């Protein structure tokens, strides 16, 4: 199959990845090519294996470093991006492709549907100008997929999207022995909430390692830098090979979304290493963990639809969520016949009420919940977490599901 694969424009798509979207694009393009598909990869300057004659300019904050964010532009940058997309879309429209797979956030892409089969994967909560473009195109906007049911439900779409969870390369994210440290890794931006992870680790008495790119310097200076100390280390950015080894040597990973997380790639990467997660249940994170008999921290500020799974307790969903009724067996493997997860859930709920009654802020409340969860899950059998990731999120599953969706889209 000849495929035009459109990536995001903000960062080069190569290791170390700027975020989960960049990792998804790089991994899927590489795997599709390995399976014999002819893939033209349209991506940002400096990407790995892209079409260099038509590339997106990236977002350069060099002259405005202290104003940088992951969702805004310095002066003139958006105009350059728009021009690059117009040239790329015109080229794609005139080229013979079986399918165009759009993973960008640019509204101009939907014009391609007049010339080719167009599939757009939604990786984020709704982006205003992209949402407007979809509504304007209507049935001419092509087909859609989303990385989670939560993300699919957040957009207004002309057709029902397919939900295909992201995948993890379990050959790279290998099983590890664990260790004394907790870890948080990802983009260091307010919506990812690493400050909550720091507070939770301290409440649990666990030394914490932070790994990630600073996507918001103001947030880093105000919320992260003052919290660093002998028990909290920031290592900057690491390539995935080194990061995977580090995660496998940690006792728990904190996953702390302060927005409706589209999926939660960090969670499945951690689980593939055998390292359990202590997570806030927002957005797609709840579906990622739905088959595990572990609890999540309840965010009282979250939209009800983003915590639907968590609201009934993830432990209660384990039996139904795992194919073939593996839930009870997984629970036994993790718990070793110990305290029933539903009982733990009630204990968390009761204490949550106590914390709010004490006048603690939402952030403090979440940190205390996460601390309790972290101290519990780090005692579980690590191999069961690895098995869960392999069975449900291994990279071959992602590839198979997209190839099947490509076939349906082009039929």
Dump the DSSP string for 208-271. EEEE--BS-HHHIIIIIGGG-BTTEEE-----HHHHHHHHHTSSEEEE--SS--S--HHHHHHH
DSSP 280: B
Fold match, 2-167+395-410 / 182-393: yes
Above 90 in pLDDT, residue 63? no
Check: CB of residue 313 under 8 Å from CB of residue 358: no
Task: Give the chain's mean pLDDT.
Answer: 88
Nearest CA to 267 among 166, 378, 391, 175? Answer: 166
pLDDT in tens, 302-334: 755 554 433 333 333 333 333 333 344 555 555
pLDDT per residue as tens digits for the range 16-50: 999 999 999 999 999 999 999 999 999 999 999 99
Q: What is the pLDDT of residue 319?
A: 34
Report the distance separating Cα 117 and Cα 114, nearest Å: 8
Q: What's the mean pLDDT in 59-65?
A: 84
Measured CA to CA in angstroms, residue 27 lies from 15, 49, 62, 177 at distances of 10, 11, 29, 26
Q: pLDDT tier at 71 (50, 70, 90 boundaries)?
A: confident
Radius of gyration (C-alpha) of the chain in whole angstroms: 21
Burial of 138 per CB tally in 10 Å (0-12, 13-18, 19+): exposed
What's the topology of domain 182-393? Rossmann fold (3.40.50)
Return left, alpha or beta for 58; rule: phi > 0 is left, psi -120 to 50 is alpha, else beta.
left
Give the residue from 331, 344, 332 showing the smallest Cα distance to 296. Answer: 344
Nearest to 278 by CA among 349, 371, 165, 385: 371
Q: How is domain 2-167+395-410 classified at the architecture level of CATH? A: 3-Layer(aba) Sandwich (3.40)
3-state secondary structure of 52: coil
pLDDT in tens, 97-151: 999 999 999 999 998 888 899 999 999 999 999 999 999 999 999 999 999 999 9
- Report the first-to-last Cα separation within the chain, whole angstroms: 12
Give the start-to-end residue ranges of the domains of the chain: 2-167+395-410, 182-393
């Amino acid at each position: 199959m000849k495929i035009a694969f459109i990536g995001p424009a903000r960062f080069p798509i190569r290791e170390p990845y700027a975020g989960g979207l960049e990792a998804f694009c790089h991994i899927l393009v590489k795997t599709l090519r390995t399976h014999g598909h002819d893939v033209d990869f349209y991506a940002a300057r400096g990407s790995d294996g892209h079409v260099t004659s038509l590339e997106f300019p990236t977002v350069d904050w060099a002259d405005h470093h202290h104003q940088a964010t992951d969702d805004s532009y310095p002066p003139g940058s958006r105009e350059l991006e728009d021009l690059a997309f117009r040239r790329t879309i015109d080229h794609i429209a005139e080229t013979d492709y079986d399918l165009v797979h759009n993973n960008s956030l640019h509204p101009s892409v939907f014009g391609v549907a007049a010339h080719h089969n167009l599939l757009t994967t939604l990786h984020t909560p709704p982006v205003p100008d992209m949402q407007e473009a979809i509504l304007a195109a209507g049935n001419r906007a092509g087909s859609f997929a989303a990385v989670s049911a939560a993300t699919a439900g957040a957009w207004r779409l002309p057709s029902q999207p397919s939900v295909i969870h992201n995948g993890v390369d379990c050959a790279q994210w290998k099983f590890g022995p664990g260790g004394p440290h907790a870890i948080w890794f990802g983009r260091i931006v307010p919506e990812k909430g690493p400050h909550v992870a720091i507070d939770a680790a301290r409440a649990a008495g666990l030394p914490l390692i932070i790994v990630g790119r600073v996507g918001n310097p103001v947030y880093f200076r105000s919320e992260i830098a003052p919290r660093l100390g002998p028990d909290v280390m920031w290592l900057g950015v690491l390539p995935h090979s080194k990061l995977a080894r580090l995660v496998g040597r940690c006792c728990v990973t904190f996953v702390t979304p302060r927005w409706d997380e589209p999926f939660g790639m960090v969670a499945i990467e951690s689980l593939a290493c055998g390292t359990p997660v202590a997570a806030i249940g927002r957005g797609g994170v709840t579906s990622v963990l739905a088959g595990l008999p572990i609890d999540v921290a309840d965010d009282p500020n979250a939209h009800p639809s983003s915590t639907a799974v968590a609201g009934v307790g993830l432990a209660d969903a384990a039996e139904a969520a795992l194919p073939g009724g593996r839930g009870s067996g997984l629970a036994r493997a993790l718990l070793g016949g110990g305290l029933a997860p539903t009982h733990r859930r009630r204990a968390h709920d009761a204490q949550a009420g106590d914390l709010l009654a004490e006048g603690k802020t939402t952030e403090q409340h979440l940190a205390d919940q996460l601390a309790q969860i972290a101290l519990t899950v780090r005692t579980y059998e690590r191999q069961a977490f690895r098995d869960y990731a392999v069975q449900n999120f291994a990279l071959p599953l992602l590839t198979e599901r997209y190839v099947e969706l490509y076939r349906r889209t082009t039929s």
